[in-house]
Structures are given as C-alpha cells and as structure tokens.
Amino acid sequence: MNQLQGETIAAAASSSNLGSYDEAYANFNWDEIEKQFSWYVTGKVNLAYEAIDRHVDAGKGAKIALRFTDQSRDEAYTFEDLQALSNQFANVLRSYGITKGDRVFVFMPRSPELYVSLLGIIKVGAVVGPLFEAFMETAVKDRLEDSGAVALVTTPTLLSRVKRNELPSLKTIFVAGEEIEVSEGIVDYHAEMAEASADCEIEWVNREDGLILHYTSGSTGKPKGVYHVHNAMLQHYYTGKVVLDLQEDDIYWCTADPGWVTGTSYGIFAPWLHGVTNVIRGGRFTPGDWYNTIQNNKVTIWYSAPTAFRMFMGAGEDIVKQYNLSSLRHILSVGEPLNPEVVRWGNKVYGRRIHDTWWMTETGGQLICNYSSMPIKPGSMGKPVPGIQAAIIDDNGKILPPNRMGNLAIRTPWPSMMRLIWNNAPKYEEYFRIPGWYISGDTAFMDEDGYFWFQGRIDDVINSSGERIGPFEVESKLVEHPAVAEAGVIGKPDPVRGEIIKAFISLREGYSPSAELKEEIAKFVKEGLSAHAAPREIEFKDKLPKTRSGKIMRRVLKAWELNLPAGDLSTIED
Ligand code: 6R9
C-alpha cells in the first residue's frame, strides 16, 4: 500500500517514562492513573488545583512554572506566583457574579494574563472558551453567541471587535491594558487584580463538570463548540507522561496558541499537571527566533507542527548550525500529516527524531503516537496510546484487515473524549453513529506491525480511475522535490477518470514557476510514487491557504478550483 512501510528509525538508547510499548499497552489500567490525583480521596476535583496549587502544597512553589517572552516582555512566574494570581482573578470573577458552569471567554494574544485568566476561570468552576486573537468581529460574535458567554477577558485593541450590543448574555468584559475607561460592563482587569485577595476557596467540581469549550471549524456551516470536562486531565496527565515524556527537570515548549486545542491540552494542562517549567513565546517569529528560544531557555522538549518543521526545512541546515540546540531531548509534532521527508531531515539536522502524534479537538488528548522508546516509521502516526483501542473500520462498523484504507475509529469512551457539541446534539451523534465507536472523519490504514498511516480527511480522498488516493501521500512526495516548499492536493472532477489529481504548490526561495518545472515535478511523483498518483495539473501559488493551527485547507483549494463557496473561513490565517 505504501512503499515507505519498511523504513524505520530506531529509538535512542536513553531511558523514557514509557519503557516497552507492548508491555505498557498490555498492562494498562486507568484506575492506576486516577490514584495519582486528590479526587481519588475526596471525589471532587479541579484541574487548576491539580495543575498549579498541588505543586505548591507539595513544596515546589518556588519552581518556575512559566517563562514568557515576546517582543516586549521577558518574565518568569513560579507556581506560587500563578497560584496567587489565579486566585486573585478567581476572586475578581466571583465579585462579578460568575459561578460554576458559566461560559467565560479569553480573547487576547499570548501573555501571562491570558494564562492567569484561564486558570482563574477554571478555579471558579466556569467553562473557559479560548479564542484566537486574530478572530474578526463575526468569528468572535458567533462563538460568544452560540455559547451564551457571560463574560470575556480581552485587551483594549481587541475590544473593538466585540459587538457588545448584539450579545445580550455578555454582561462583563475584563480589559487588560493601560488606562482603561471603565463603564457599564467594562472592567479594568489590572485595577481589579490589584485589589483582589490572593486567597481563594477553589470551586470543587465533579469529574464530569465542564472545563473548556473549543470552537473548531467544520468544512461547512458554523464552527462547533467542542465541550470537555475535568475528567480529561487523566488523558492529559498520562499522555504528558508517556508521549511528551515529561520529567521533573524538563523545560518544555509547546508552540501552539491556546485558541487551538494543542495550546491548552498540551500548552497548559499536560505540562503543569506534571509540574514542569513551561516556556511560552508570543508574537510572530522567524526560524532564528525559534532556535533562539530553544537555545536561551535550554528547552528539552519541543512540541510543534508540520507547517513549522517544513518552514525550518526550507530555511535550511546552515541556520541550525548557528544555534546550540543540544538541550533538546524530545521533539514532537501534531496537526497535520508529518511528511517522511521532514522526519528524515529532522533526524539528520537536529540529530533527534520528530515524533508524530495524532488526535483532534474532539478527542481532547493524544490517541495515536510515536514514543521515544519505539521505532519510528517515517510517515506513520504511530500506535494507539495505552488505554486506547484504535481500528480501521468500514461504514458498517466491520473491522478491516491490515493495509486496507477505511475510517479511523476509536473505541468509546476514553477520559478526554468530548462530552457535547454545544447546542448541537445531532452533530455530536454523527461521530458515534456506529455503536461502540467514535468515527474520526479521517481515513487511514494499519500495517501488519500495528502502525497507523494517515491518508486524509474522508472528504479529501481522491478517486481517480477507480483508485482511491490519499492526498497526503502525493503531497509528501511533492515536498521531497527540491523546488517544493509546500503542496496541497485535491481531486478535480474529470469526465473520464472521475477525478484527476491537481496539486497546488508553493515554491522554495530561488525557484520560479515555469511549464518545465511543472513537468519535472509531475515526472518526479510518477517515478517516485506511481503514475496514477502523479498530478495531471499543477498550479503555483505564493502561499497556500492555511488554518491558524497550520493545516493546509484543501477544501478552500477545492472551492477555488470549482468556483464554490469555501464554507466557514473564520480560522484561516490571512
Ligand atoms: C490536535 C488537532 C484534527 C485533524 C485530524 C487530522 C489532522 C492532526 C495529525 C493529523 C495527520 C497527524 N491531524 N494530527 N493528520 N497526522 N499527526 O490537530 O486537532 O485542529 O481538531 O484537527 O487534524 O485530520 O482529524 P484539530
């Protein structure tokens, strides 16, 4: 099915939290994980306590929890600092009547205030809704309206994008900035924080009480509010241990914004549940800035995305040599298929393997991953996390044998599984239409060794002359060509073949579009992959349309091609 299946990169000899994958998988038991938390004793829980206060109670209050840098700030906060600040904000929230179950949104660029606010919201038992700072008026309004948000934390600049008069449920807006003009419903965040007590009685909730609401775009219609509960922390904690491989002295950097689920589950919850030092970098930055962040903070674990790794590959090897990246112990990726070429490049240039991880907003945590103790097959997402059963099934729920492409499905339930789509029960039920399974909407196959190989979103699979082709395989071959920086592949309707493959390509520095180059690239795929997988049409673009989490938006490419409406574009990058 895939000519890459035989290639493996062995695990490094160093020790890891997981140890033998097969043993961990066979002996796994969620009860053992639960025993590590205080709720096992009290029956009540609060994720913010487990992430921050518990470490203070355990005598680690003076340890650095957060190192924040952007163009204008460079600050460090201990666990004790975060405990006090989030207590203060929890008290501010309470003084405005905000209580358990309320939806409170954060709409601000990455800053210490964002992280403090988010923790404070969780401490009062409210449900936090993080938004990308780049959202414009309609995107903000849709989400606040659908969720019935009662409060929002934002900055003076972003406040102008909040249509207050059209949002009757939105009672209070906390504005964090200088010289805030206070008026009905507009509160000066810093002034209130200065007055608030740093002691606070945490709202102890049930495991199944609401934690976070992440809006994510479908291909059509409005974004869906994916609702997660405190119980998800079991998955955050366990995957933090065995996938991120978090250990006491690690300096951890997840590059994702909290507007994306990666920026909360693994940018906040997993690292702090483990009490490690978390590096947060704000602002936009160049490859040099990224490497600088690793070098200056002595980052040991780095979690990023294929779009970033492709950018580094494009920027080349020379720039890597200008930095000392020797602190790095473990590198991970999520969000999109990780092209084998990128894994090979990373292994050569960083001298470290890049570990792909697969999961979704809806799954709340990592489900299929590569582990530091297991061989990597470049191009494969790896194997199910212990405690998770994954399979490839057909549309009737029949489990398919190895090497057959089908629906990537997960046995229900698991601790971080979404519990609701806000206001949209029919949408929720679609994911569970086959009894006993969660249907991801991705297609994949599993090989004889139990490794899973991503093929595409169901809607993206191409059918050309009766052959089913996953766009990812073609895109990965395309980025092996020296001229290609990024590629997005779609099926274009064709009267003879059903569909033909069309590739949209952005070129690397130093290459310019030409008919010869198109031919050469098509030939490269034909010879390297197969004739039926070679694009019959190629179009060069300066940039490909991407989401804020770095995913190439194939449905936008398709809409361009077919002159159709592109659906919800609120998460597009530009
Ligand atoms: C965490 C996150 C989910 C969709 C998912 C899939 C794609 C994510 C991937 C991957 C191939 C990986 N995806 N990780 N595809 N390999 N390692 O990304 O959540 O933004 O909801 O996206 O992203 O198509 O279904 P979300």
89 phi-psi bin (left φ>0, alpha ψ -120 to 50, beta other):
alpha
The answer, yes or no, to whether any atom of ligand 1 lies below 6 A from the CB of 549, is yes
Inter-residue contact 348 to 357 (CB < 8 Å): no
Q: What is the value of ipTM here, to two decimals?
A: 1.00
Which residues contact residue 96 at a Cβ distance below 8 angstroms, ignoring those fewer than 6 apart?
A: 151, 171, 172, 187
Ligand 1 centroid from CA 100, angstroms: 31
Asked if 256 contacts 266 with a C-beta cutoff of 8 angstroms, the reply is yes
pLDDT exceeds 90 at position 4: no
pLDDT score of 219 more than 60? no
Contacts 24+ apart (CB under 8 A), 217-220: 217/547, 217/567, 217/568, 217/570, 217/571, 218/567, 218/568, 219/457, 219/459, 219/555, 219/567, 219/568, 220/567, 220/568
Share of the chain above pLDDT 90, in %: 82
Q: What is the mean pLDDT of residues 406-424?
A: 97
In the structure, what pLDDT confidence band is assigned to residue 218 with cuts at 50, 70 and 90?
low
pLDDT of residue 365: 98
| pLDDT averaged over every residue in the chain | 94
Q: By mean pLDDT, which of 32-46, 106-120, 367-381, 423-437 is the weakest?
A: 32-46
pLDDT, average across residues 492-517: 92
Percent of the residues in the chain that have a pLDDT greater than 70, as a whole number:
98
| Residues 6+ away with beta carbon under 8 Å from 516 | none
Q: Which of 86-90, 519-523, 560-564 has the lowest mean pLDDT?
A: 560-564
Question: Residue 221 — very low, low, confident or very high, per pLDDT cuts 50/70/90?
Answer: low
Q: How far apart are CA 121 and CA 456, in angstroms?
A: 36
Tally the C-alpha atoms within 13 A of residue 29's C-alpha that lie toward its C-beta.
5
Q: What is the mean pLDDT of residues 88-107?
A: 98
Contact 251, 299 (CB under 8 A): yes
257, 303, 342, 358, best to mutate for ligand 1 pocket (most atoms within 8 Å of CB): 358
Q: In angstroms, rounded to a whole number, what is the distance separating the alpha carbons of residues 63 and 55?
A: 9
Token pair, residue 154, equals 């934002």
Gap from CA of 210 to ligand 1 centroid (Å) = 23
Domains and CATH numbers, the chain: 79-229 (3.40.50.980), 461-562 (3.30.300.30)
Q: Give the per-residue pLDDT at 220.
A: 57
**In the predicted model, what is the mean pLDDT of residues 531-543?**
92
Stretch among 196-205, 313-322, 357-366, 456-465 having the lowest mean pLDDT: 456-465
The pLDDT tens digits for 157-187 are 999 999 999 999 999 999 999 989 999 999 9
Predicted pLDDT at 498: 82
Q: Which atom of ligand 1 is nearest to the CA of 260?
A: 20
Q: What is the pLDDT of residues 55-93, one digit of tens each?
A: 999 999 999 999 999 999 999 999 999 999 999 999 999
pLDDT in tens, 448-495: 999 999 998 888 888 887 778 888 889 999 999 999 999 999 999 888
Spacing, Cα 360 to ligand 1 middle (Å): 5
CB-based contact 38:50 (threshold 8 Å): yes
As beta bridge partners, residue 403 has: none
Instruction: Express each pLDDT in 251-265 by its tens digit.
Output: 999 999 999 999 999
Which pLDDT band, with edges at 50, 70 and 90, does 1 fall under?
very low
Query: Which residue among 269, 310, 332, 551 is best mutated to probe the pocket of ligand 1, counting the most ligand atoms within 8 A of its Cβ?
Result: 551
pLDDT band at 3 (very low <50, low <70, confident <90, very high): very low
